[in-house]
Amino acid sequence: MRLLVIEDEPRLQRALAKALREEGYAVDTAEEGEDGLYKATAFNYDAVVLDVMLPGMDGWEILRRLRATKATPVLMLTARDATSDRVKGLDGGADDYLVKPFELDELFARIRAIIRRHAGRPHSTVVIGDVEIDTRGRKVDFGGKAVVLTAREYAILEYLALHRGEVISRTELYEHLFDENEDTLSNLLDVHVHGIRRKLRADLIVTRRGEGYLIE
């Protein structure tokens, strides 16, 4: 999953990006409102973590403009705990709201929840036959036994599972798995998909030639 963190406080931005990458996300960042809005509209993120108070263009305006073109899940961050602010954010199209300071575990949980809701999968566990995916713990069981996947293998499996029944193009997978600073190889997806099939089931992920990948 690929996230955008729009936060102008450098130490907090670095800490959030580091923590989210350690959770297995690809993370892009922006310090200013205009740059954040550009990235949020130019790229297809799985979620945006948006600070309210930003230089140039504040979070409210970014949210308003983003919602004119995209339904990307947005989690707003603010130092203000006023009910009016929370109502303003939620009514303006935010999917959730978190008041600073906060615990990282709560941030992770809220991000997972808005991504699942956006994908139409409200529960943290996705079951596909004898494969069970725990999106909260980022764990996979096959036939009742734990299977160890690499971070990239898990990310591919989770994304395809959350969009079960849809053919996901290679381009879309690359956009959601790698951040703006990573170099990608043309055959990298094939390598990871082969690893998933080898560890789970050969027929779990279907390849549609010229179209992409699918979990039926």
Q: How far apart are CA 119 and CA 132, in angstroms?
A: 17
For 90-136, the pLDDT digits (tens) are: 787 889 989 988 999 999 999 999 998 888 777 788 899 999 999 88
Lowest mean pLDDT among 21-30, 73-82, 101-110, 182-191: 182-191
Pairing of strands 2-6, 139-142: unpaired
Residue 89 has pLDDT above 90, yes or no: no
Global pTM reads: 0.74
Q: What's residue 73's pLDDT? A: 94
pLDDT at 108: 95
Mean pLDDT of the chain: 89
For the chain, report the end-to-end CA distance as a whole number of angstroms. 20
pLDDT tens digits, 156-165: 999 999 888 9
pLDDT of residue 183: 61
Q: What H or E segment, with its residue span, contains residue 214?
A: strand 212-214
